[in-house]
Structure 1
Amino acid sequence: MAPAVGHPRPSVSFGRAVKLFFKNYATFSGRASRSEYWFSVLFNGLSILLLDALYYAVTGAGIFYGARLADMADDTATKGMLLALLLFAFMVGTLIPNLSITWRRLHDANSSGAIYFLSWIPWVGSIILLVFVTRPSNPTAWQRFDTGRLPAET
């Protein structure tokens, strides 16, 4: 089912947002609703938190004090390295989808996706981006951004 041009992006549940996050892996055109965006942010945050917690539980390292893998027993260091590689793979694997959903969220607020690059400004860039992604959907954004390949809705 193709998305309807000119209609607001529907609000979605957590599960559907995660599904759409991966289904629209590299779709930079179109729009993303606030629920789709924020549920994907929540999914990514919880996933990273879970992998970090597993790493700290397995290696015995603390959040505020580190432990070098070289100083650990061989089996603990191996498990720690595997978990660190899993976390790295997750973060690299979700880099493009995170960028694309942020780009589409900016489109839904009737802003250019290139505003994302303002987040590279030290200290204030992330705050500027946060202001833009929290803006409500603009009813006329479809006229400007629903051209080309539209993101899936189901």
Structure 2
Amino acid sequence: MDWYLAVLKNYAGFSGRARRKEFWMFTLISFVISALLTGIGTALDTNLLSGIYSLAILIPSLAVLVRRLHDTGRSGWWVLIALIPIIGAITLIVFAATEGDQAPNAHGVNPKLATA
């Protein structure tokens, strides 16, 4: 939960780098919360709860993805590859799962070393 809250505290921080663990833990917890809200919304016959939550985490989700791309040495503009159906999403998943640069890159120092 700390990883999720750390991303929310850095709400619109598009600069810097994000570890794989930060990105994937945020994604996992967001998915669980979204699934719970969708279930509650289905029981109440409304999509309002999941819709509001999706809008609320849109900016932090994009920010952590851009920081994750920065960690792998790529520009944040690679997010736009998601506009290509199927192939774009698969490419972003591969990029997000790739280990980050060990050495400092143009976007900052290695976040694994910065927290140690």
Do the structures match in fold with TM over 0.5? Answer: yes
Give me the whole-angstrom Cα distance separating, in 2, the residues matched to 1:89 and 1:55. 11
How big is the shift at 1:143?
3.0
Matching residue within 47, 52, 70 for 2:33: 47
User: Identity percentage over the alignment?
Assistant: 33
Cα-to-partner distance string for 1:53-110 (whole Å, 9 max, x where unaligned): 1122233xxxxxxxxxxxxxxxxxxxx3xxx222211111110000000000011111
Checking the alignment, whether the CA contact within 8 Å between 2:41 and 2:50 is kept in structure 1 is no
Give me the whole-angstrom Cα distance separating, in 2, the residues matched to 1:51 and 1:126. 24
Instruction: Give 5+ residue unaligned stretches, structure 2.
Output: 110-114
Give me the whole-angstrom Cα distance separating, in 2, the residues matched to 1:114 and 1:132. 13
Checking the alignment, whether the CA contact within 8 Å between 2:20 and 2:99 is kept in structure 1 is yes
Tell me, what secondary structure is at the counterpart of 1:144? Answer: coil
Tell me the TM-score normalized by structure 2: 0.87
Cα-to-partner distance string for 1:135-154 (whole Å, 9 max, x where unaligned): 001112x331029xxxxx7x
Root-mean-square deviation (CA, aligned residues, Å) is 1.5
Instruction: Give 5+ residue unaligned stretches, structure 1.
Output: 1-14, 60-79, 148-152
- Aligned pairs (5 A) from 1:1-154: 15-59=1-45, 80=46, 84-140=47-103, 142-146=104-108
Aligned residues: 110
Give me the whole-angstrom Cα distance separating, in 1, the residues matched to 2:21 and 2:101. 15
Greater length-normalized contact order (CA 8 Å, ≥ 6 residues apart):
1
